[in-house]
Amino acid sequence: MAKIGFIGIGKLGLDCAEVMAEKHEVRGYDIYPRTSDSVRVCDIAELVDESEWIFIAVPTPHAEGYDGSVPSSHMDPKDFGHDAVIDAINKVNTYAKTSKKVVLISTVLPGTTRRKFITLLDTRHQFLYNPYLIAMGSVKWDMANPEMVIIGTEDGELTGVAGELIALYKTIMNNDPRYEIGTWDECESIKIFYNTFISAKVGLVNMIQDFAMKIGNINVDVVTNALARSTMRIMGPKYMTAGMGDAGACHPRDNIALRWLAEEYKVGYDLFDTVMHARELQAKNLALYLVEQAELLNLPIVIHGKAYKPDVEYCIGSYSTLVGYYIKEAGHKVVYVDPLADNPEDVVAAIDTPAVFLWAHNRKITYEYTGDQVDTQPYCEIKEGSIIVDPWRKLTTTRKDIVIIQYGNTRP
């Protein structure tokens, strides 16, 4: 039986503490008077002194008017408040006579733990970031039946204390969840992007509802049920690998056309403006990264793959050329290698010098759903001293004379 303390026993913390109390000795502390039949509510000194594990479930509130119950999208964006978490950490430092295993549950934005909290906690304590995917109304059930348990450590490794936390959870779980281990920052991201994926998804299906109301002869459920059953591309892991942006003859222009439809039927907003704008700025960010590398090393830039995907000649709607556009806009030259490309502008057959390559094509990611597992083979010789920027983070090499940069992986 473990000795556990919960700092903050509000809407989330109290129910979670009570689930833990079914198997363990659990204390709870809150600045607000709380009662429980199974959790011993006590002062902070007793809680810290008596507990081996200290879970922090205090609020990370938004400022007044930012909860989404009234319009707020016109207001300045703001971070969550961190005072209560900082207060809880300070109290652990003050009252702990021995080393504690401190577990932060509260929701914070990516980077917050490393930037704001970890420097405050005494080094004798161990720290994990462990946000919950729990919903009001079903806290106790969600706690014992989670889809996944997210555990963040300093370096993303399953360190001893993270393993101990898994062992602790195994004593209370009714299901056999996934345990997702990452850096603090990755786990902060998993939690917040999990929630915002849901917001984006609901925003999309409700937009179809708006179109149904405006256009007529559409039952939104017929549309969303067909999409919900689309497990090949939409409902599943496909398109969940960050890399080159959406491209081709259809997708970009479909978004552009829907922008027109939204205006024509006066739905009052334009989600696709944001989607297309993000696509363009993501291409620009990648382009500027390539330019930075090229200028640092005084090398030319080559985009490896000009057609919108491997094995086809079509350059229509190509994300490679969009990246190329922004490279040129930044005042740099760019060429492409692609044996199939149907647009010969700036395409060369060979690269005779070292260069900064953008590895735009990845056959395996594009076609693996068909069972085809063959990876992209180089379209030209890669000279010694080259840098390959791989936006898919899959490329490996045994060559010592070239460097591969995994774009999107900033772990040290």
Residue 20 as a binder of ligand NAD (CB under 6 A): the answer is no
List the one residue from 17, 20, 54, 57 that touches ligand NAD (CB under 6 A).
57
Choosing from 8, 146, 156, 354, the residue that interacts with ligand NAD (CB under 6 A) is 8
Residue 58 makes contact with ligand NAD by CB under 6 A: yes
Residue facing ligand NAD at closest CB distance: 10
Which tokens sit at 272?
Answer: 């696709």
Interatomic CA distance for residues 253 and 248, integer angstroms: 9
Cα 47 to chain centroid distance, Å, stands at 34
According to the binding rule CB under 6 A, does residue 135 interact with ligand NAD?
Answer: yes
**Is 59 a residue that touches ligand NAD (CB under 6 A)?**
yes
**Alpha carbon distance 319, 322 (integer Å):** 5
User: Which of 4, 5, 6, 12 is in the footprint of ligand NAD by CB under 6 A?
Assistant: 12
Helix, strand, coil fractions of the chain, as percent rounded to 5: 35, 15, 50
Q: Does 343 bind ligand NAD (CB under 6 A)?
A: no
HSE value, Cβ hemisphere, 13 Å, CA-based, for 348? 15
Tokens of 175: 């299901």
Q: Which is nearer to ligand NAD, 88 or 258 (CB)?
A: 88
Judged by CB, which is closer to ligand NAD: 10, or 300?
10
- Distance between CA atoms of 308 and 324, rounded to whole angstroms? 13
Among 36, 93, 107, 343, binds ligand NAD (CB under 6 A): 107
Specify the stretch interacting with ligand NAD by CB under 6 A; choose among 71-79, 134-142, 336-344, 378-386.
134-142
Sole residue written with tokens 């594990």: 53
Site string for ligand NAD, 76-95 (x = CB under 6 A): --------x--xx-------
- Which one of 3, 10, 180, 190 is in contact with ligand NAD (CB under 6 A)? 10
Nearer to ligand NAD, 31 or 204 (CB): 31
Cβ-proximal residues to 146 (8 Å cutoff; 6+ apart), any chain: 132, 133, 134, 173, 175, 177
Strand order in the sheet with 387-390: 334-337, 301-304, 356-359, 387-390, 403-406
| Strand pairing report for 53-56 and 40-41 | unpaired
Instruction: Decide: is 41 part of the binding site for ligand NAD (CB under 6 A).
Output: no
Q: Which residues contact 191 (CB under 8 A, 6 or more apart)?
A: 107, 131, 133, 150
Between 80 and 179, CB nearer to ligand NAD: 80
The site map against ligand NAD for 344-373 (x = CB under 6 A) is: ------------------------------
Selected range binding ligand NAD among 102-110, 118-126, 261-269, 357-365, rule: CB under 6 A: 102-110
Q: Bridge-partner residues for 178, per DSSP?
A: 148
By CB under 6 A, is residue 152 in contact with ligand NAD? Answer: no
Q: Which stretch binds ligand NAD (CB under 6 A): 57-65, 319-327, 393-401, 402-410?
A: 57-65
d(CA 377, CA 372): 14
* Minimum distance, C-beta of residue 140 to ligand NAD, in the bound complex (Å): 12
- DSSP calls for 257-290: HHHHHHHHTT-S--HHHHHHHHHHHHHHHHHHHH
Residue 298 in the binding site for ligand NAD (CB under 6 A): no
The residues binding ligand NAD (CB under 6 A) are 7-13, 29-32, 57-60, 84, 87-88, 105-107, 132, 134-136
